[in-house]
Structure 1
Amino acid sequence: MTIGERIRAAREARRPRCSQEKLADEFSVARWGKPGFPDRQQVYRWETGRRGSKEWLPFVEQVLHLLAAEAGENELAATALRGLADQVIDLGHIPNAVRLAEACEQRGRKLNNPKALAY
């Protein structure tokens, strides 16, 4: 799964379902403290892989971590966070990858399954 696919999956897993516009506002608030940019079309471009931006990666990580926490499904959240951490490492953002891996570990501990934590 690409980062764009993970953004879309996390957005669609949210209940009530989150629109691209609402997610764009959440990214903007995470970065600048107020809604504005990016807009719905920018989120669409990220989700479809038409455009990606390394400068937004820390804020994408922050918002996706919140979306995973809201989903409430520990196994799904841990898997998504681990996959995102792998991709962030490939992009060279080690501090973000460490935070994602730690969040994945926290979710994995809630599963009461030693294999989940080893994974």
Structure 2
Amino acid sequence: MVTEAEWERVQGELRFGQVITGTVVRVPKPGAIGVFVDIGLGVEGFVDVVLLPRRRIEDWPVEGTVTDFEIWWVHTGHQQIRLKPSDPKYLCEDFADFVARYRPTWPSEIGKALRGPKPSTP
């Protein structure tokens, strides 16, 4: 964990939808939780299972995978940046339907600062 001041600084520099390159560092329970990503900011990145392929967990990025992610939302209590894969091969098959159903405001949030009004969360 970083200090509260550092956490505030990190959030102030990032935007929803911003693409950031990261390295998958842990896949604790393939098909059940998600993947943890080192995004080089001193705070943890995480991709939730709901955003990863459901048909074949073999399509999940494995430890050591370096790829691009988009900033999806922020879990303030855990000082964690939630990510979504930029590469469609690592993204759930029904992402457009998922967004329409659970996060319809996503397109309007892209480019906005992480701090400020909190987006809806699935």
Indicate the structure with greater helix content: 1
**TM-score scaled by length of structure 2:** 0.24
Relative to the length of structure 1, the TM-score reads: 0.24
Structure (1 or 2) with the greater strand fraction: 2
